[in-house]
Amino acid sequence: MRLPKIRREDLKPGDCLCNHCSAKCCKYFALPIETPTRRKDFDYIRWYLLHDAASVFVEGENWYLLVHTRCKHLQEDNRCAIYHTRPNICREYSTENCEYEDDHVYDRYFETAEQVEEYVEAVLPRQEFRSRRPPLLNVIG
C-alpha cells in the first residue's frame, strides 16, 4: 500500500525529504548543449531524439539533452547503494531545490524528431533547395 505523498512543508523536524521521494533525480541526467541556430544544429537534435529515452528541453536561453535512465546504484527503496562513495555531483545535489514536487514546466520540450522539424519550420526562414549556379564557361574565340 502506497502512502500519500507528504508535502515538503509538512516534514517533521529531523525527517529527510529523501525518505518520501521517488528519486526522480536518480532516473535521468541532463547535459547542456549548444543553442541551435542553423538547420544543421537542429538536425543533430533530431538525431538525439531518434534514440530511445532521450528528450531535449529549454530553460530560458539554455538547451539541454535529457537522458531518461536509471542510476545503476538506485535501490528498489529509492535509496543509493553507494551513498558513502557517491560521485561529487550527487554529494552537491541538495533537497533545497530538488524536483520533489514534480511540477516543473519547461519553456520548450521536445520528445520526437517530428516536433523538432515543426519547430524549425516555425522559427527559421524557409530554405530554398537549389543547386549552386555553375561557373561561367570560357568563351572560345
pLDDT at 2 over 60: no
- pLDDT digit string, tens, across residues 74-86: 999 999 999 999 9
Assign 119 to helix, strand or coil: helix
Q: What is the pLDDT of residue 125?
A: 80
Q: Say what the pTM is.
A: 0.77
At residue 57, what are phi and psi to the nearest 5 degrees? Answer: -135, 160
Domain locations in the chain as residue ranges: 26-121
Backbone angles phi, psi at 74, to 5 degrees: -80, 125
- 88-119 pLDDT, tens digit per residue, is 999 998 888 788 887 778 999 999 999 999 99
Give the separation between CA 62 and CA 56, rounded to whole angstroms.
11
Is the pLDDT at 129 greater than 70, yes or no?
no
Tell me the per-residue pLDDT of 17-68, one tens digit each, with 9 for 90 and over. 888 888 989 999 999 999 999 999 999 999 999 999 999 999 999 999 999 9
